[in-house]
Structures are given as structure tokens and as C-alpha cells.
Structure 1
Amino acid sequence: MESTEQKERRLAAIGACDRVLSHAKRPTMREQLARIATRDLDRLPDMYGDGVVGELEQRVAELLGTEEAVFFPTGTMAQQVALRCWAGRTGNRTVAIHPLAHPEVHEREALSVLSGLRTVHPTTERRMPDAEEIRGLDEPFGTLMLELPLRDAGFLLPTWEELTATVAAAREREAVVHFDGARLWETTSHFGRSLPEIAELADSVYVSFYKSLDGLAGAALGAPAELAAEARAWRHRYGGLVFQQWPVVCSALYGLEHELPRLPRYTAHAKTVAAALREALAEAVPFSRVHPEVPHTHQFQVWLPYPPEVLDAAALRQAEETRTAVFGRWFPGEVPGLSVTEMTVASSALEWTASDVTEAVHAFLDRLN
């Protein structure tokens, strides 16, 4: 567990770096306020979801091609509401979901504790479930939830053909389909489809404003008008109808205007970065791995055969000594002796060439000794 002192030292070191490869340099509060200040702030603030909140909801609905969108303070709340609404409509409280999906790993069993839902797993493989696994699931389910991309498996996506087949298999089972699209924004390059084409496959879609768009917080649920109306009622019950939310909403609008158009470029450059990392590590470190080898989005994993604390210490020394940061935090992997870190290729990485990556990786590895 990283102590507060260690965290502050790490963030200070990255903040002082001139070059950062993986997107770990957090904007200061002043920088965040400057983004918000690009909006028209002379108007009255929102009150319980009107004003600028409604503008954001309309913008998201247009981007996704859904009838409506509902703003939520968190994605955890948005998805719980969506899944319990669908359970009421289908009459089945069972959700088919991957065991590595966000509600199963990161939400303290909220689906069952708060919403009374239960989950079943079509597969335990570290990939999206396929159509045959959905057809072969040995009990009824009301909703299939697909996380696009599946973050804890390595930000993995199926092919477009695999995705459409899996959705069709759920329809054959008379189930509705919900997309956990926290990072849906960056899937268009991989699928070769627009956001509306992707969202159209599902009955509802959740998107995040801070994971890829650098917003302060917040999420939205794209859904048919009838479900959106019920979602607003449950949002109120869950405590999500906040008095004023304009700072979060303005930062989300900034992200839609400035970060969303850049995501295809980030995704393309991630392939260059991943290839350079893979080659540099393979030369010097047995059992190293870049996963997936060709990233599906602008995010992917790197695995190395060292304890996390050793890798964190080397990364910190590199940042403090060279003002260059290659990796963020490292965490224990599922295999003993291996550690994993997540790479996010964003604006700070665009200036890095393959040779820059190679040189910086060698400098990092030198500090492991």
C-alpha cells in the first residue's frame, strides 16, 4: 500500500517532469479551473439538473445517437441504476457479466448489496465472452453487460463481428444488452465504426467523463426516453440529484470538445509506443510482456518480473534524476513474481518517437540494478 508521503513524492516528481510517456501527470486545480473558465460563466448555475446539465445530456445523446442521456455524478451509480431498471422491465434480476468487469472487481458488491441483483459469468477467460458462451449459459438472465474495453484484462475489445454476434446471441436469449462504455469514446478506431453505430447495438450505454476525457468526474447513461425517465427517478433515490454540478459538467464539455477529437490520434500512437516498449524490454528482460501486443485503444498493460516496490522505486528515481517518466505505478500481477502497470498514451506521449521510448526504457532498466 502506497503511503500518503510516497504518493505525494511520486506525484510531485511526475509533475516536475519535462517528458511523461504514460498519462500520469495530473492537472493542478488551477489548470482544471482554467479549462472550466473557457465556458460562459456569467450565466446562472444549474439547479438540481437543469441548465448546463441539460446541455451536456443533450450533447451526449447526440454523440451516442440515443434518444436521451442522463447525467450521473459517478459511473457506479449510473450502471447500478441502468441494471436495476432493466431487471424491473425484464422480470429477471440476473446479469450476465465478465468476472473482471468493473461492478465485480471495483464496486464492493454494490449490485447485490444495494440493488438486489445477482451475476453469472459466461466465461472466466481474460477476454470478452463470445456468442457461443452466451448461448450456452445454463440459466436465464435478463441483461448482458459488456465492458468495452475490458480494462482489467488489458483494455481488450472483440472484433466488430464478434461483438455483433455476442449481442445477437443475447437477443436470442431474450435479454437486453447494456454497454459499460466508460472508455467507449476510444473504441471507434478499433471497430471502424462511429459512436452511434456502436451504441446502437445496445439497449443502454454508460460513458465516463474523466477516464478518457480528463474531466473532473461524472458519467452519463444513454438510453431510450422511457428508461431515461425511470433512471432520473432512481438517480434521485440514490442521492445523485446534486444541487449544483456546473464545475463537473463544464469540465466534461471541455473534454468532449478538446480530448474526444484527439483520441484516434492517441490510439494510433499507442501502437508505436507499445511496439517500442516490447522491443526494448525483450532485449533486456526475460518474461516481460506488453499486452495486448497491438493495443486495441490508447491503453494497454506492461508486465515485468520484479516486485512492484522495486519498479516503483526505479520509476521515481528516473523521474527525479532525469525529469522523464516512463511508467506510472506498478501493482502485483496474478502470477507471483510478475508486476503490472497500465499505460495510457495521450497528449504527453505524442512527442515521443520510438527511439525516445527505447532510450527512456533503457534508462529505467539501469535503475533496477
Structure 2
Amino acid sequence: MNKILQEAFNQSTYQLTGHGSRNVQVLKDAFDNVDGQLDSDLYGEGKVIENFQDKMAAFLGKEKAVFFPSGTMAQQIALRIWCDEKGLPKVAYHPLSHLEIHEEDGLKELHNIKTILIADETRAIELKDVVSMEESVACLLLELPQREIGGQLPSYETLEDISKYCRKKGIRLHLDGARLLEVLPFYEKTATEVCQLFDSVYLSFYKGIGGIAGAILAGEDKFIAKSKVWKRRYGGDLISLYPYIISADYYFNQKSHKMPLYYENAKELADFYNSCHSVYTLPEVPVSNMFHVHFPYSKEEIEPGLTEVMRKTGVGFINHLRATGESSCYFEVSVGDRYEKVPKDEVKRAFQKLDEWMLNKFPS
């Protein structure tokens, strides 16, 4: 990470992304009105955890739910259960799935599960990719949205078609719904309506809503009973998880209903980026509150410009850039509470300055 870029972002008056700093205040706010005499959970039991699990099961339209300290743990366990059920240690997912590129091959090394990568890595999975699989699998995982390609999504009709096909073929369908809340405004569906298409669902509590950590895994009663056994095997039943649970509940209540606002603001912000010379977003029109901003120039060429504009305008675009090649780079945008607090005149002025810098630096 470029320290100068990070410093310019941190010192800016306004930031365009996220909810705010991930400091201890995030936890203090969540506990501000909590009764200090509230009993903690104890190894996965107690009202504080059970009530929240029931609340999330109802929200997702599933029979039961269990709270996990991490989504990585939850999803590996979900896929293991489905593989055991069918006696077939094979699952399919996108080439840029979190399990494939961020988990050190945990699914393969811990469970000896073979992964089948389907679809071109530049787009979301479509029905044709599922139908054309040459190997049988126990489970198909769909990530909504597909983060590593800018948060792209299949249509809701495609989800319905894939769900019908999987049920016909006896393939379990698992939802990597880390950012499920963020895609509901685009689909114009409730969480229950989306989740009814899937056999199991994972939801994160630190990504879109800004909690501390933790995740929910939801599904049928028998599936969740098995997942609790695996949670114990993984060491996921900490003596108490209440700091994560209480903060998850607090920020879920605070932010889940604001996803339509974040979505509309993301589309507005993407328009600003796309109005700048040699800058484009993926997708061009966001389908959630996240998208990627791309430059057809190297990271080393772009960083000075972003740093200069942030320092001159006091508007923070981002704190890091990622190279995609020798002459290309991008950064990820996730719109939250911060964007709404930035005066529109300041936003427009910052993008005018960015456009001017790009034109001067790269006139052709």
C-alpha cells in the first residue's frame, strides 16, 4: 500500500467510501445502550446468541441459523456438509470465488474437496455454465455480488433458472451472500425471496453493515444441526461471542434498511468517475453499493494524481490502488454512510480537479 496515498486519504476532510474508521468506537457505539447485566452466551448457547440466530433465520426465510466467528469457517463447513450428504467431494464455483483466491486452499487441504471452476473470470456465472459442467458436483456456490469483478450480478431470472436446474439434478445450491443485503435493492426482492432459491445461505456482519466480525449460516434444521457440530470441531464455539453478536445486531438494525440509499449513491458516484478522462467503472452502472474504478495506466502513474487532488480538495477518493498489469490499475469503492455527508459542491469540485489532472497528464 502506498503510504503517501494512504496519508492523503486519512488527512482529507471528507471520504467518499465506507461508513467510517474501523476503530474501537465502532464497538463502543454498539454497546452504548446495552444492559451490563445481560448474560453472555456460553459455548454457543444462551439468549444473546439464540435470539439473534432466530432473528436472522426469520429474516432469511430459513428454518434455522447459527452464528459463526467468520464467514470462511461457515462456508467451508457448509460445502463439507453438502459433499458428505451426497458422498461426492466436489463443488463448483466462480474462478475468483473467495474460497479459491483468499483462503489458502482451505477447502481442499482441510476437506479434500475438489473444486470445479466455471464461467469466464470476467463475468458472473450464467445458466449455460452450470448446464455445461462436465463433472458431477455435490454443490454449486454462487457469490452475490461477484466482488472481484466489480460486484457484477446475474439477473434474478438467471438465479431462478439455476435454482430450478440444480434441484432437478440434485445439486445443492449455496449462497455466498456476504453482501446479500447490498444486492436486494437492485433485485427489488426481499432477503427471503432471494434465499428461497438456495439450500444454504451465508451472510456477513462486517462488510456492508460495518460490524466487528462474524457471520450467519442459515438453512434447514438438519443442515444447521450438522453445522453446529462442525463449528465445534473447528474451534468456532468460543466461550463467548457476544461482542460480535451484539455489534452485528446493532449495525444490522442501523444500516440494513439504508441499502437502497447506498445503492442510489453508488450509481451517482460512478457517474462522477465515468465523467473523468480515461476513467471508467466496472460495472458502468453499479448493481449494488460497490463497484471498481479502473485506469488504463500504471499504479505508479495514477497514485501521484489521486494524492494531489485529495490534498488540494480535501476529498478522499481511496487509500490504495491495485495493479492489474504494467499499464493498468484499479481500486474498489463501497458506498456507505460517509458519502451522504460530503457536500455535493465539494464532490463536484473534486471530480473536476481529477478530470483536469487526467487530461493534463494523459492528453491523448
Residue 36 of structure 2: aligned partner: 41
Residue 289 of structure 1: aligned partner: 280
Q: Aligned AA for 2:27?
A: Q
The equivalent position to 1:260 in structure 2, one of 253, 256, 275, is 256
Secondary structure at the aligned position of 1:163 is classed as: helix
Change (3 A) 1:73 1:29: same
- Cα deviation per residue 1:170-207 (whole Å; 9 max; x = unaligned)? 22322010000000011111111110010110000000
Superposition deviation, residue 263 in structure 1 = 1.0
Secondary structure at the aligned position of 2:111 is classed as: coil
Residue 340 of structure 1: aligned partner: 330
Q: Aligned AA for 2:200?
A: S
Q: Aligned AA for 1:223?
A: G
1:73 aligns to 2:88 (yes or no)? no
Residue 361 of structure 1: aligned partner: 351
Moved more, 310-319 or 156-165: 310-319
Q: In 1, are the aligned partners of 2:315 and 2:346 still within 8 Å (CA)?
A: no
The equivalent position to 1:202 in structure 2, one of 195, 198, 205, is 198
The equivalent position to 1:211 in structure 2, one of 187, 190, 207, is 207
Residue 91 of structure 2: aligned partner: 95
Unmatched 5+ stretches in structure 2: none
Residue 158 of structure 2: aligned partner: 162
Change (3 A) 1:129 1:97: same
Residue 339 of structure 2: aligned partner: 349
1:27 aligns to 2:18 (yes or no)? no
Q: Distance in 1 between matches of 2:240 and 2:6?
A: 30
Superposition deviation, residue 356 in structure 1 = 4.2
Aligned runs of 1:47-58 on 2, under 5 Å? 47-51=42-46, 52-58=48-54
**Root-mean-square deviation over aligned CA pairs:** 2.1
Q: Aligned AA for 2:191?
A: L
The equivalent position to 2:147 in structure 1, one of 148, 151, 173, is 151
Change (3 A) 1:13 1:242: farther
Aligned runs of 1:116-131 on 2, under 5 Å? 116-131=112-127
Q: Distance in 1 between matches of 2:31 and 2:354?
A: 36
Superposition deviation, residue 355 in structure 1 = 5.7
1:141 aligns to 2:131 (yes or no)? no
Residue 273 of structure 2: aligned partner: 277
Residue 56 of structure 2: aligned partner: 60
Change (3 A) 1:309 1:29: farther
Q: In 1, are the aligned partners of 2:273 and 2:280 still within 8 Å (CA)?
A: no
Q: Give the TM-score of the pair, scaled to structure 2.
A: 0.92
Change (3 A) 1:13 1:40: farther
Q: Aligned AA for 1:23?
A: G
Q: Distance in 1 between matches of 2:240 and 2:7?
A: 31
Paired residues, number: 358
Q: Distance in 2 between matches of 1:246 and 1:263?
A: 25
Q: Distance in 1 between matches of 2:51 and 2:118?
A: 38
Unmatched 5+ stretches in structure 1: none
Q: Aligned AA for 2:105?
A: E
Secondary structure at the aligned position of 1:296 is classed as: coil
Q: Percent identity?
A: 30
Q: Distance in 2 between matches of 1:91 and 1:231?
A: 17
1:311 aligns to 2:302 (yes or no)? yes
Q: Distance in 1 between matches of 2:236 and 2:56?
A: 18
Q: Give the TM-score of the pair, scaled to structure 1.
A: 0.91
Q: Aligned AA for 1:338?
A: S
Q: In 2, are the aligned partners of 1:306 and 1:337 still within 8 Å (CA)?
A: yes
Superposition deviation, residue 317 in structure 1 = 4.2
Q: Distance in 1 between matches of 2:295 and 2:19?
A: 19
Residue 325 of structure 1: aligned partner: 316
Name the structure, 1 or 2, with higher relative contact order (CA <8 Å, separation 6+).
Answer: 2
Q: In 2, are the aligned partners of 1:276 and 1:354 still within 8 Å (CA)?
A: no
Superposition deviation, residue 289 in structure 1 = 1.7
Secondary structure at the aligned position of 1:114 is classed as: helix
Q: In 2, are the aligned partners of 1:183 and 1:208 still within 8 Å (CA)?
A: yes
Q: In 1, are the aligned partners of 2:30 and 2:251 still within 8 Å (CA)?
A: no
Q: Aligned AA for 1:162?
A: T
Residue 300 of structure 1: aligned partner: 291
Change (3 A) 1:269 1:110: same
- Cα deviation per residue 1:25-51 (whole Å; 9 max; x = unaligned)? 423213431222233332122221223
Q: Aligned AA for 2:292?
A: Q
Q: Aligned AA for 2:124?
A: M
Moved more, 122-131 or 337-346: 122-131
Q: In 2, are the aligned partners of 1:21 and 1:349 still within 8 Å (CA)?
A: yes
Superposition deviation, residue 113 in structure 1 = 0.5
